[in-house]
Amino acid sequence: MGAPAAGALTEAFEAERRGLFAHAYRMLGAYHEAEDVVQDAYVRALRGWHTFEGRSSVRAWLYRITTNVCLTVIASRGRETPFVVEPFPTDPADLVTERESVRLAFVAGLRHLAPRQRAVLLLREVLAFSAAETGETLGMSVPAVKSALQRARARLAEVAPDRDDVLDAASPRAQQLLAEYMAAWEASDADAFREVLRADAAIEPVGSGTTYAGRESCLAFAVPSMGVARQWRMVAIEANGQPAVVAWFRGEPFGVAVLTVAEDGIVAITLFGDPKLAENFLNR
């Protein structure tokens, strides 16, 4: 393979990198695994570039490779490995990644789909590939793709129903609620925290297997951790197209909290208590 051909592939790959990364994240739910998949996909594409005959677009070919690397990763996990969703950095200026397609509720809902159903749904509904392109990617007939898509839609509707009232991270009300949330925690003000929560709010500490449902349950769980004023420090970010914070406690990184917000308050707080996430989000 000559240098011009390799250069052409690299240029095409870099143009699609962000979208491929988001696709791998949706397939796997894991930020770090998605990074590894994208690197692996590039190496595989580079090795196979001389066999590319142009029967599909380069974009479709790259997504085919990435999808199949993801399926291999999923198969290697084994049935006992849990699907644990990690937060995904999003940028308001990023036009490649559709916010709706990386919202936590959507990505978490994908875990309830069989891997190939998940791939069909993402290729058809998020990436807008045709049934024929999807079938070629996954080695399925067009009728099989259509059947898998129908089943995936039905299952996803059961486990991750749409929330029409959820606000985009960039909306003024979402930004206001985020600021009030941060101020409450930094001031250790339990009453202010109560004010930003909806009556049906929920807190989910990821990995705990527990969800605290209802405002009073949320307060009973969270307030004892508030400490005294200025023990918590927070920086506003955007994750999964939602308002979020990177948090430090007593000067040490704590992790990331992702908020699901509506006009009348915070609907859900998803806590990722992993100190390494601070570096992921602030040093991008």
**92-132: pLDDT as tens digits:** 666 556 677 888 889 989 989 999 999 999 999 999 999 99
Q: Write down the pLDDT at residue 1.
A: 39
Q: Does residue 160 lie in a domain region?
A: no
pLDDT at 80: 59
Determine which helix (DSSP H) or strand (DSSP E) holds 242, and give its type and residue range: strand 242-249
Residue 180 lies in a domain: yes
Model confidence at 4, pLDDT cuts 50, 70, 90, reads very low
pLDDT of 284 reads 65
Residue 197 lies in a domain: yes
Reported confidence tier of residue 162, pLDDT bands at 50, 70, 90: low
Q: Which residue has the tokens 């994240």?
A: 25
End residue of a domain, out of 24, 50, 77: 77
Q: Name the average pLDDT for the chain.
A: 90
> Has residue 105 been placed in a domain?
no
Mean pLDDT to the nearest integer, 189-216: 95
**Residue 87: what pLDDT?**
92
Give me the pLDDT at residue 205, please: 95
Look up the domain containing 34 and give its range.
1-77
Can you tell me the mean pLDDT for 255-265?
Answer: 95
Mean pLDDT of 76-95: 75
pLDDT of residue 5: 59
Cβ atoms of residues 180 and 195 within 8 Å: yes
CATH number, residue 47: 1.10.1740.10
Phi/psi for 88 (5° steps) reads -120, 120
End position of a domain, from candidates 26, 43, 77: 77
The confidence score (pLDDT) of residue 133 equals: 95
Query: What pTM, to 2 d.p., does this model score?
Result: 0.87
Domain boundary among 47, 77, 107: 77
Residue 165 belongs to some domain of the structure: no
Q: Is 264 part of a structural domain of the chain?
A: yes
Domain-embedded: residue 83? no
Give me the CATH number covering residue 193.
3.10.450.50
Give the alpha-carbon dihedral of 212, 215, 220, 224, to 10 degrees: 100
pLDDT (mean) for 48-63: 85
Q: How many domains does the chain have?
A: 2
Question: Which band of pLDDT confidence, cut at 50, 70 and 90, is reported for residue 36?
Answer: very high
**Mean per-residue pLDDT, 199-223:** 95
E-only strand ranges, 94-231: 197-205, 212-213
Provide the residue type at 13 as one letter. F
Judged by average pLDDT, the poorest of 39-43, 87-91, 169-173 is: 87-91
pLDDT of residue 209: 86
Round to whole Å and give the CA distance between 16 and 185.
Answer: 39
In a domain, 221, yes or no: yes
Per-residue pLDDT at 77: 83
Question: Which residue has better confidence, 208 or 234?
Answer: 234
